[in-house]
Amino acid sequence: MSLDPMKRPSGWATMSDVAQAAGVSLMTVSRVYKNSSAVSAATRERVLAEGERLGFVPNLLAGNLASGRSAMIGIVVPSLRNSNNASSIQGMADCLRQSAYQFMITNVGYSLEEEAAAVEAFIRRRPDGLVLTGTRHSEETYGLLRGSGLPVVEVWETEGPLIDMAAGFRNHDAGGDIARHLIARGYDRIGYIDYPVPGLRRYDARREGALAALREAGLPADLVVSPQHAADAAEDSASFRGGARGLAQLLEKGDVRAVLCASDLLAIGVIFEAQRRGLGVPDDLAVAGFGDFEIAAEIPPGLTTIRTHGYQMGWAAADMLIARIEGRPLDAPVRDVGYSLVSRGSA
Amino acid sequence: MSLDPMKRPSGWATMSDVAQAAGVSLMTVSRVYKNSSAVSAATRERVLAEGERLGFVPNLLAGNLASGRSAMIGIVVPSLRNSNNASSIQGMADCLRQSAYQFMITNVGYSLEEEAAAVEAFIRRRPDGLVLTGTRHSEETYGLLRGSGLPVVEVWETEGPLIDMAAGFRNHDAGGDIARHLIARGYDRIGYIDYPVPGLRRYDARREGALAALREAGLPADLVVSPQHAADAAEDSASFRGGARGLAQLLEKGDVRAVLCASDLLAIGVIFEAQRRGLGVPDDLAVAGFGDFEIAAEIPPGLTTIRTHGYQMGWAAADMLIARIEGRPLDAPVRDVGYSLVSRGSA
DNA sequence: TTGTAGGCGTTATCAG
DNA sequence: CTGATAACGCCTACAA
């Protein structure tokens, strides 16, 4: 004999309540709410009506426990305040929603320890899959993931040893392309402003790709500055300021005619700083960014940059994850979503 | 007799496995992992050692089902690509982490139907609380929330009938303040560029506050334009373009000396458009924004704006929610985190 | 198409 | 401080 629903500790109507009210068994109700076809239309209707009347909302926790699947995936990002990630998160969100998955998201800065903690916290909720940013992780993280056997996608980088799957693009090539673009335009003394956080493969690759192109063209490849790493390095504001500071440092180094930046926000910071110094862009100083953030198209004279297809990358990551979760065959464990050079007025 | 852990369907070691290995009962293991003090140090150590050895990670789904608490809260936002929300989300994230809560987040644009769907999806996972953006919701949402009895915080607005709790600030006052700031500086023909999405109380309040101030000063209050509502209105790019278009519309309306914008991104769009038109800011055109996004401080000549304390608002929202969840007394169901006027070069 | 039995992995409760 | 037992609400597997 089941309790009166109103008096049950949880306060929620359960499938049993609905079953009793509709005069069917528990399993029939379960099938109705799972959209299992094996229920007659009449029964289904009656069950749904009673469910509605009782305010029944299925308890996924219970369902997950019984079925071993949670329809939830965990996403680890450096920051939620970084435009860089926003698009890819949105891409994942849209793809996941379409397949009726939900996600939890945790920001861990650039700390491998925090990342490991986040991964463990996720695993406690038994997600069906995980998305990590980048390809560098702590031993603890690797251990946890190995032990879990969970499908994992790493995003933004495809370089480096992969855990399982990855979605990204060739940062090294992209860095080379944007550098060659400036070279082709006749700029000779080209500076490079690095990302404020050291040790990230994707930014190392961008820089090395660009410097290799400079060397190949016989140009100086030592005009590199890297704004100091700050605690809030993952935030947008750090990048704006980093760009401004970077330009100052480069100008101290000597005559610089063009600046390549590891991210659009650095480039925006450079443009603003140039404005403050009375330098015209591109006439006195050419500027190129990386990322094609939304502001790149808006700021006069338009920022030349590498479009990174973050949205598609996020979508691809989620798509691979779901395929793996649902046992569908995967064409390849690495999805290269490419990039494109966007030439605007700044360089 | 329990199965061999390696052969169990889930593949995970369970508390029973750990208990058996450590030679204690299930409950002792449970207590250890809950940090219940009622376990001797020696026992605790032995249990943890065995847990580590077996790669045991507690299953929160099971724990939640048994305890009726999920240590999870659901957050509904319009967009993940909107800088506006990013800070408040980060504030919630930081506060929640500190109290060992996790969160799920869903973006629903400005659709009340999608919001309702998101709320139901959350409720299926039995969160301990919910955060919604704004104070306008569909009947279905209200019904679901009423039925759930869940603690709810609405953020960004405190106007309007509240479901339960709210964190925000007086948008009407803030709109008035920024308008009075321009008035005090001697600008007479002041235009207003509204947010591209109609029907949001917080933006209505900002506008009405500003217009009231203009009227009070005997200035024209009809120089209002509102960029057309687009599908992607929640995204940053729509705001940049909206600002540019808004300025064009205002200039068609006649001689405008200053522009008040419903958000910083609109204002940035205005500044860029002014630049393209050869108008100096603030000499030819004064511009004020709303929000104090990170770029506001960086763009020359600095954007005069209202700082909204989004981070603190997010933190306050999470804090109230947790207090309610954990049965701690709440000083007030509405937390006003205030705002401040930031005067920079643009106006 | 529908129903019965058993179990998913944890916590609450009460007893020792 | 430790243990036995009964839920928590649903799903899988099998049977009718």
| Residues A8-34 pLDDT 10s | 556 789 999 999 999 999 999 999 998
Categorize the per-residue pLDDT at B10 as very low, low, confident or very high, splitting at 50, 70 and 90. Answer: low
**Residue found by looking up tokens 């989620």 in the block:** A318
Categorize the per-residue pLDDT at A229 as very low, low, confident or very high, splitting at 50, 70 and 90. Answer: low
- Nearest-angstrom CA–CA distance, A313 and B48: 40
| Across A257-284, average pLDDT | 97
Domain identity same for A244 and A156: no
Question: Which among A295, A275, A128 has a CA at the least distance from the CA of B345?
Answer: A275
Would residue B63 count as lying in a domain? no
Domain identity same for A186 and A86: no
Domain identity same for B198 and B275: yes
Do residues B30 and B38 lie in contact, with contact meaning Cβ atoms separated by under 8 Å? no
State how beta strands B340-342 and B305-307 pair: antiparallel
| Across A87-111, average pLDDT | 90
Domain identity same for A238 and A285: yes
- Nearest-angstrom CA–CA distance, A280 and A317: 41
Alpha-carbon separation of residue B334 from A252, B145, B163 (angstroms): 52, 18, 11
**pLDDT at site B8:** 52
Q: Residues of chain A with pLDDT > 90: what percent?
A: 79
Do residues A287 and A347 lie in contact, with contact meaning Cβ atoms separated by under 8 Å? yes
| Across B93-106, average pLDDT | 90
Q: What's the CATH code of the domain at B32?
A: 1.10.260.40
Distance in angstroms: CA A124, C1' C9? 12
Q: Does B245 touch chain A (CB under 8 A)?
A: no
- Nearest-angstrom CA–CA distance, A286 and A257: 6
**pLDDT at site B3:** 38
**pLDDT at site B109:** 87
Q: Does residue A126 come out as left (phi exceeding 0), alpha (psi in the -120 to 50 range) or beta? A: left
Q: Which of A158-162, A255-259, B225-229 has the lowest mean pLDDT?
A: B225-229
Contacts of A237 (CB under 8 A, 6+ apart): B294, B297, B298
Domain identity same for B90 and B136: yes
- Nearest-angstrom CA–CA distance, A32 and A41: 10
For the stretch B30-62, pLDDT in tens is 999 988 778 899 999 999 999 999 999 999 999
Would residue A229 count as lying in a domain? yes
Q: What is the 3-state secondary structure (H, E, C) of chain A?
A: CCCCHHHCCCCCCCHHHHHHHHCCCHHHHHHHHCCCCCCCHHHHHHHHHHHHHHCCCCCHHHHHHHHCCCCEEEEEECCCCCHHHHHHHHHHHHHHHHCCCEEEEEECCCCHHHHHHHHHHHHHCCCCEEEEECCCCCHHHHHHHHHHCCCEEEECCCCCCCCCEEEECCHHHHHHHHHHHHHHCCCCCEEEECCCCCCCHHHHHHHHHHHHHHHHCCCCCCCEECCCCCCCCCCHHHHHHHHHHHHHHHHHHCCCCEEEECCHHHHHHHHHHHHHCCCCCCCCCEEECCECCHHHHCCCCCCEEEECCHHHHHHHHHHHHHHHHCCCCCCCCEEECCCEEECCCCC
- Nearest-angstrom CA–CA distance, A39 and A47: 10
Would residue B346 count as lying in a domain? no
Residue A232 CA, chain-centre distance (Å), reads: 18
Are the Cβ atoms of B294 and A235 closer than 8 angstroms? yes
Categorize the per-residue pLDDT at A143 as very low, low, confident or very high, splitting at 50, 70 and 90. Answer: very high
Are the Cβ atoms of B60 and A126 closer than 8 angstroms? yes
Domain identity same for B196 and B273: yes
- Strand partners of residue B74: B104, B130
Distance in angstroms: CA B311, C1' C15? 50
Would residue A332 count as lying in a domain? yes
Q: What's the CATH code of the domain at B190?
A: 3.40.50.2300
Domain identity same for B108 and B143: yes
Question: Which among B182, B191, B292, B290 has a CA at the least distance from the CA of B245?
Answer: B191
Contacts of A135 (CB under 8 A, 6+ apart): A154, A157, A158, A159, A160, A161, A162, A163, A166, A201
Question: Which among B255, B236, B295 has a CA at the least distance from the CA of B271?
Answer: B295
Q: What is the 3-state secondary structure (H, E, C) of chain B?
A: CCCCHHHCCCCCCCHHHHHHHHCCCHHHHHHHHCCCCCCCHHHHHHHHHHHHHHCCCCCHHHHHHHHCCCCEEEEEECCCCCHHHHHHHHHHHHHHHHCCCEEEEEECCCCHHHHHHHHHHHHHCCCCEEEEECCCCCHHHHHHHHHHCCCEEEECCCCCCCCCEEEECCHHHHHHHHHHHHHHCCCCCEEEECCCCCCCHHHHHHHHHHHHHHHHCCCCCCCEECCCCCCCCCCHHHHHHHHHHHHHHHHHHCCCCEEEECCHHHHHHHHHHHHHCCCCCCCCCEEECCECCHHHHHCCCCCEEEECCHHHHHHHHHHHHHHHHCCCCCCCCEEECCCEEECCCCC
Alpha-carbon separation of residue B285 from A223, B182, B190, B228, B346 (angstroms): 39, 12, 10, 23, 8
Domain identity same for A289 and A330: no
Is a pLDDT exceeding 90 seen at residue B84?
no
Domain identity same for B175 and B294: yes
For the stretch A306-338, pLDDT in tens is 999 999 999 999 999 999 999 888 999 999 999
Would residue A345 count as lying in a domain? no
For the stretch B251-285, pLDDT in tens is 999 899 999 999 999 999 999 999 999 999 999 99
Is a pLDDT exceeding 80 seen at residue A5?
no
Residue B132 CA, chain-centre distance (Å), reads: 8
Domain identity same for B300 and B185: yes
The count of CB pairs under 8 A between chains A and B is 138
Is a pLDDT exceeding 50 seen at residue A51?
yes
The count of structural domains within chain B is 3
Domain identity same for B251 and B207: yes
**Residue found by looking up tokens 């509605």 in the block:** A52
- Nearest-angstrom CA–CA distance, B328 and A118: 27
Q: Which domain holds residue A50?
A: 5-58
Would residue A88 count as lying in a domain? yes
Compute and round to an integer the Cα radius of gyration of chain B: 26
Alpha-carbon separation of residue B231 from A62, B139, B159 (angstroms): 37, 23, 26
Is a pLDDT exceeding 90 seen at residue A275?
yes
- Nearest-angstrom CA–CA distance, A258 and A97: 43
Per-residue tokens: B283: 């000499």
Q: What is the mean pLDDT of chain B?
A: 92
Would residue B191 count as lying in a domain? yes
Distance in angstroms: CA B207, C1' C16? 69
Provide the shortest C-alpha distance from residue B341 to chain A (in Å): 19
**pLDDT at site A101:** 92
Footprint of strand C on the protein (CB under 7 A): A 24-28, 31, 37-40, 42-44, 62, 65-66, 68; B 3, 8-10, 12, 14-16, 26-27, 30, 33-34, 56, 58-59, 62-63, 65-67
Are the Cβ atoms of A61 and B102 closer than 8 angstroms? no
What is the edge-to-edge ordering of all strands in the sheet holding A165-168? A334-336, A165-168, A152-155, A129-133, A72-77, A102-107, B102-107, B72-77, B129-133, B152-155, B165-168, B334-336
Nearest Cβ partner of A59 from B121, B124, B236? B124
Categorize the per-residue pLDDT at B193 as very low, low, confident or very high, splitting at 50, 70 and 90. Answer: very high
The nt closest to B38 (CA vs C1′) is: D1
Provide the shortest C-alpha distance from residue A140 to chain B (in Å): 11
Q: Residues of chain B with pLDDT > 90: what percent?
A: 79
Is a pLDDT exceeding 90 seen at residue A268?
yes
Residue A34 Cβ < 7 Å to strand D: yes
> What pTM was computed for the model?
0.90
Provide the shortest C-alpha distance from residue A121 to chain B (in Å): 8
**pLDDT at site A105:** 87
Distance in angstroms: CA A5, C1' C4? 23
- Nearest-angstrom CA–CA distance, A235 and A237: 6
**pLDDT at site A7:** 46
**pLDDT at site A38:** 81
Q: Does B55 touch chain A (CB under 8 A)?
A: yes
Alpha-carbon separation of residue A73 from A5, A152, A188, B11, B104 (angstroms): 32, 10, 48, 18, 10
Is a pLDDT exceeding 90 seen at residue A213?
yes
Q: Which residue is nearest to nucleotide D7 (CA to C1')?
A: B66
Per-residue tokens: A27: 């399993």
Nearest Cβ partner of A125 from B60, B83, B298? B60
Distance in angstroms: CA B1, C1' D12? 20
- Nearest-angstrom CA–CA distance, A150 and A316: 18
**pLDDT at site B198:** 87
Domain identity same for B47 and B76: no
The nt closest to B68 (CA vs C1′) is: D8
**pLDDT at site A4:** 44
**pLDDT at site B2:** 36
Provide the shortest C-alpha distance from residue A256 to chain B (in Å): 22
Distance in angstroms: CA B168, C1' D14? 56
Would residue A65 count as lying in a domain? no
**pLDDT at site B229:** 67
For the stretch A164-192, pLDDT in tens is 999 999 999 999 999 999 999 999 999 99
- A272 contacts on B by Cβ (under 8 Å): 298-300
B24-44 residues labelled b (16+ CB within 10 A) or e (exposed): beeebbbbbbeeeeebeeebb
Per-residue tokens: B335: 């937390």
- Nearest-angstrom CA–CA distance, B22 and B28: 10
Are the Cβ atoms of A294 and B237 closer than 8 angstroms? yes
- Strand partners of residue B104: A104, B74
- Nearest-angstrom CA–CA distance, B2 and B16: 8
**pLDDT at site A250:** 96
**pLDDT at site B36:** 79
Which backbone phi and psi does B60 adopt, to 5 degrees?
-70, -30
**pLDDT at site B287:** 98
